[in-house]
Amino acid sequence: CTSFTSPARDKITFDNSMADVAISIVASLVERLLGPAIREGKCFLCVNKFIGDLENEKKELVIERDNLLDRVEQAKHRTEEIEKPVEMWLNDVKNLLEQVEDLEQMMRANTSCFQGQCPTWKRYRLCKQIVKKIELIGKFKGKSNIQPFSHRAPLPGIQYPSSENFIYFESTKVANSELLEALQDDDIYMIGVYGMGGTGKTTLVTEVAKKVEASKIFDKAILVT
């Protein structure tokens, strides 16, 4: 079989392809030229819509911020430390919400602008700030679920004072030995030290705590007053 190609048909196909390319280029140019103009025009025609959008976006971000603060408070009750990225998110959102509040105060002070009673450039400038804040809020919304969120804080232990002046009397030595022995007895869960006020009970227990940590009987000794 022999196939034949029509020159006229090839020319039509080629012309159609060139037309598609030309249309695509023109459409791209129109979008680039008119797109910014359309967006800028919305600042004049849709001011009230942008104000409403800003209020809604702000409310949603505040709810997200408050939920995260609740999680932070719960973690701190568990004696956990909050990860730095979580603190950074909260700090950035705090600053952004303060900026939004400043802008809202400016808007309330210039209500006539949004009723068409002030110069167009001033109304345009305020609207541009509103749009920018809406975009910034969008960058933080839905980003508060940061992992890892927190980690267990290390036990502080006791900040031991100097024991250079601590004197072991005979009774103190006996109490010291009894305490160390009791601390190594797995069947004992609570130990009481009693005596007259000012006889050095707290100092004795602190000295024993030093020895407990040094000898690795316990990992940490914590002093609670």
Separation between Cα atoms, residue 44 and residue 46, nearest integer Å = 6
87 against 41, higher pLDDT: 87
Close Cβ partners of 217 (under 8 Å, ≥ 6 residues apart): 180, 183, 184
- Please state the pTM of the whole predicted model: 0.54
Residue 190 or residue 111, greater confidence: 190
Task: Please check whether residue 15 lies inside any domain of the structure.
Answer: no
pLDDT at 208 over 50: yes
**Looking at residue 124, what is its pLDDT?**
73
Residue 132 has pLDDT above 80, yes or no: yes
pLDDT value at residue 213: 86
In a domain, 128, yes or no: yes
Indicate whether 90 pLDDT > 90.
yes
Residue 67 has pLDDT above 70, yes or no: yes
Instruction: Specify whether 201 is located in the same domain as 96.
Output: no
The yes-or-no verdict on residue 63 having pLDDT over 90 is: yes
Question: What's the mean pLDDT in 153-168?
Answer: 62
User: Where would I find the H helices in 110-143?
Assistant: 120-140
Examine residue 3 and state whether it is found in any structural domain, yes or no.
no
Residue 5 lies in a domain: no
What pLDDT score does 10 carry? 52
Same domain assignment for residues 125 and 39: yes
Q: Read off the pLDDT of residues 134-157 as tens digits, 9 standing for 90 and up.
A: 999 999 999 999 999 999 887 665
109, 43 Cβ separation under 8 angstroms = no
159 sits in the region (left: phi over 0; alpha: psi -120 to 50; else beta) called beta
Local confidence band at 72 (pLDDT 50, 70, 90 cut-offs): very high
Residues 14-53 have pLDDT tens digits of 455 555 555 566 555 545 544 454 455 555 556 778 888 9
Q: Which domain holds residue 141?
A: 33-152
Report the pLDDT averaged over residues 73-92.
94
Same domain as 101, residue 143: yes
| Whether the predicted pLDDT of 74 surpasses 80 | yes
Question: What is the spatial distance between Cα 4 and Cα 2, in angstroms, rounded to a whole number?
Answer: 7
* Among 136, 152, 168, residue at a domain's last position: 152
**Residue 80: beta bridge partners?**
152
Residue 207 is assigned to a structural domain of this protein: yes
Q: Quick one: CA dihedral 22, 24, 30, 36, positive or negative?
A: negative
State how far the Cα of 193 lies from the Cα of 203, in Å rounded to an integer. Answer: 11
Q: Which pLDDT does position 59 carry in this prediction?
A: 96
Task: Report residue 32 as tokens.
Answer: 């680039």
